[in-house]
Amino acid sequence: MDDNIASSIANRTDKLLQVTIETIKKFKVEHKGEKLYSFTFVAPSEGTSVCCAFATEEGLTDIATDYVNNSVSARGNTIDRQRMSLRWLNPDEGWHYYFFNDSFCEFWLDPFTNKELLLFDGSTETICLEVLKQLDMMNIFGSGTERDSVVIGLTYGSDPDDFLKFAENLNSPVAYRKMCDEIREACEINGLDSPI
């Protein structure tokens, strides 16, 4: 790997770690008392941007309640059944998205604009996975049984199977198995084939 590219990736890793820690602190203040069940980076496969998404039990309950009360397709479901239905199958529902500030976004895009990095080169994926591992080593998502209740991952591109692959490698077997069981149950509720 070219020294300039290696330096750019190391710099981007450090910067993403720093802004993510700040964002997690902000999230914890704004959603004090909410129980996190998932954290993911979201990035397009070309790698030109990245943001954070947080899933909480309370956010899931709010959206499930709204569905049960206002959606024809959810009528007849209990809130618990609707929660399970939405928990992993639609990460747009009930997740809290945090977008980084403009200066970070420009910093992130510059190496692609300047042709230091190529679109679809996988550098964003590599950086996000490294930052997730570092955050985990810092116990940002808890430790022991608390950590087993939070699934961390990367939503990269448009293939939902990518999240499963990353989640398997980033989480304990207990956390991953629980998520897989929940996905299978949600698929059954929704009449879908399970990806697992």
Q: What is the mean pLDDT of the chain?
A: 91
User: Long-range contact list for 57-62, CB < 8 A, 24+ apart?
Assistant: 58/31, 58/33, 58/34, 59/31, 59/34, 59/94, 59/95, 59/96, 60/86, 60/87, 60/93, 60/94, 62/94
What are the residue ranges spanned by the domains of the chain? 3-190
Rg (CA), the chain: 18
Give the predicted TM-score (pTM) of the model: 0.92
| pLDDT tens column, 117-141 | 899 999 999 999 999 999 999 999 9
124 phi, psi to nearest 5 deg: -65, -40
Average pLDDT over residues 12-28: 97
**Residue 1 in this model has a pLDDT that exceeds 70:** no
CA 53 remoteness from chain centre: 5
- Look at residue 155 in the predicted model and tell me its pLDDT: 87
What is the rounded CA–CA span in Å between residue 93 and residue 147?
Answer: 23
| pLDDT tens column, 140-178 | 999 999 999 999 999 887 777 788 999 999 999 999 999
